[in-house]
Structure formats: structure tokens, C-alpha cells
Amino acid sequence: MSELEEFLVGDRWFHRPSIAKAGVEVEITGVRPGPPARVEVSFVQQRDAPTQLVPPSQLKCRWPDRHEFLGAEAVWSALSSTPDEVESQAVVDVFNLLAGDTVTVNSSKAKRGTVTIIDPARINRVLGGELRLLVAGAQHIEDSTGVSYGWSTAVDLAHRAAGLHSERVLEHVRAMEAEARRVLQARPGLDDRGRFTKFDPWELEYQNDFVIPLTRLLREWCGSTGDSADELHRLRDECARLSKTLLDAVVRLAVSGEEEASWAIYELAFPNATRLEWRAALSFQPTPP
């Protein structure tokens, strides 16, 4: 259905430009397909005011339904939150692995930090028949999309699902850890297409601040401990130290006039490197002595 088809001339709607402003009653006087699409409205309490063209998104509901709309909006406001990024990704990963399209983790501005259960019977099976127990007493809202809960309930559901299906979740974790090891153990040099690659501090930061905490949290939910995350931390630190030490030495030798010695070290570390790549590496700023 076109976004304009529900707006019929003569109908009255609840118009609100933003959540910070009070809504008013308007009457539809026309539609403009655009682009951009616009609805022409007149303000019921201001008959002398000129009509306005407004975005369809500012027309929230038909005027008689405004109280129901505002009530639902208040519940969404109470349910929504801004969860931690790592925890949010852990919840998404667990539900994607175990529940598919049964559960939706909402990310829109109004519904951020909520989870909607679309198929309660299926997610109940994933949870070993414990859905009713896990959501007992939790604030929620039910609409045409399903039953939605706040973030603490979402975490409880994902945590329990991961514990019940730990091997499947751990298989996903091990795949992430293997990719992290590959990234952290990669040396600067040439990739498989012959392109020059170098130490990327942003990639290490991503692995350290996001991927490693994510795998640790998922392992915790699965009831699994181990040295995998610690190993990744050690690999990251060693990679950063060796890369910095190497480039520091290469640059210092070149700056002191020992260019051939500098090139010899660089070539020893990266047998396929060219002098052009070595020259590019000399832009690295060494640590002051």
C-alpha cells in the first residue's frame, strides 16, 4: 500500500511535528505524491490559518485513536533504552543463531533497547518451555508485530537460550576467535593480491574493545570459561609491540643515514616488499628516545 493511500480527504488526524510538541487535530484536504510525498492539511482549531503540506510521518494516527496511540507511546518510552554495544550484539547473535525471525531486536529510535517476540511458541521451545517463567511480571506491550519487552528481559532470554544451546553458540564464538587470531597474527607486507598492507591500529582496537569482550560475554552465557580471549589479548599486544619495534628501528636507521641497513631489516621482515613500500614505511613516526 502506498504511504499516502490511508490519507483520505475529509478524514481527521492527530498531527505532531516532533515528540517535543503537542499534537493537534487536522483535516486532510489533499495529497501530493511528490517526491517528496506530502499531505495537505488544515488545522481544525485554526480555520483561518492557511493549509500546510506536511510529511506523512507527522500524522501519527486518526484523531479518535490518539489516546490509544499516546498510551502505547508512553509504554514504548518506558521500555526503550540504550544498551551497551557489546551486550546488544551478544543478544542479536544468540537470537539470530537460535531463533531466526522468531525474535526481533529493535533498533529504531523509539524502540531501541527492546525485543519483540513474533512467534511465542517457537521461542518457548528454544527456551526449553521456560518463556512464561522468564517474562513473568515484566513490563511489555502487545501490538500487531508481537509482544515486546525491555532490555533486561531481552538479556535474560538470550542468556538462558545460550546456556541451553551452548555448543551451537560456542561454535559461533570459536569462528569469531579464529578470525580474530588471523587478523592479529597477520604481518605487514603483501596480501594475496600483491597489495601492500601495514599494521592497522584501528583493527586492533576493534578486536580488543569489541570482538574480544563479545566472545567473553557469549562464553560466560554458555557457562564456558577458557583462555581463548586471554590468548587473543596476548596476540594483539605482541603484534602491536613487534610492529612498532620493527618500524621504529627501520626509521631510526634511515634517519641516521644507514638507509641500506634500514632496507635490509625491512626486506628481512617482508621478503616480498619493494623499496617503494619501504619508503612509504619511513613515514612512521618513531618513539622519542
- Same-domain pairing of 240 and 208: yes
Q: In the prediction, which pLDDT does 171 show? A: 94
159 Cβ contact list (under 8 Å, min separation 6): 221
Q: Residues 28, 33, 37, CA angle at the centre, nearest 5°?
A: 80
- Same-domain pairing of 152 and 175: no
Q: In the prediction, which pLDDT does 108 show? A: 86
- Same-domain pairing of 38 and 52: yes
- Same-domain pairing of 172 and 206: yes
Nearest Cα to Cα of residue 108 among 135, 76, 136: 76
Q: What is the pLDDT along the chain (289 residues), one digit of tens a residue?
A: 356 788 999 999 999 998 888 899 999 999 998 788 999 999 999 888 899 999 999 999 999 999 999 988 888 888 899 999 999 999 999 999 999 889 999 988 888 999 999 999 999 999 999 999 999 999 999 988 899 999 999 999 999 999 999 999 999 999 998 888 777 666 555 555 555 555 566 777 787 789 989 999 999 999 865 555 556 556 666 666 777 777 788 888 888 889 888 888 888 777 677 888 888 878 765 655 5
- Same-domain pairing of 190 and 107: no
| b/e burial code for range 97-108 (CB count within 10 A of at least 16 → b) | bbbeebbbbbee
- Same-domain pairing of 201 and 230: yes
Nearest Cα to Cα of residue 145 among 171, 110, 169, 172: 110
- Same-domain pairing of 47 and 124: no
Out of 164, 194, 211, pick the residue that ends a domain. 164
Q: Judge whether 121 and 129 are in contact, CB under 8 Å.
A: no
Query: Within a domain: residue 37?
Result: yes
Q: Which domain holds residue 54?
A: 12-65
The count of domains in the chain is: 3
Could you please report the per-residue DSSP string of the chain? --TTTT--TT-EEEE-SSTTS--EEEEEEEEE--SSPEEEEEETT-TTSPPEEE-GGGEEEEGGGHHHHHHHHHHHHHH-----HHHHHHHHHHHHHHTGGGEEEE-STTTTTEEEES-HHHHHHHTTT-HHHHHTT--EEEETTEEEE-HHHHHHHHHHHHHHTHHHHHHHHHHHHHHHHHHHHPPSEE-TTS-EE---HHHHHHIIIIIHHHHHHHHHHHT---SHHHHHHHHHHHHHHHHHHHHHHHHHHHHTT-HHHHHHHHHHH-TT--HHHHHHHTTS-PPP-
pTM of the model: 0.64
Q: In the prediction, which pLDDT does 1 show? A: 35
Query: Within a domain: residue 56?
Result: yes
Out of 107, 134, 164, pick the residue that ends a domain. 164
Residue 60, all three cell numbers: 501519527
Q: In the prediction, which pLDDT does 194 show? A: 54
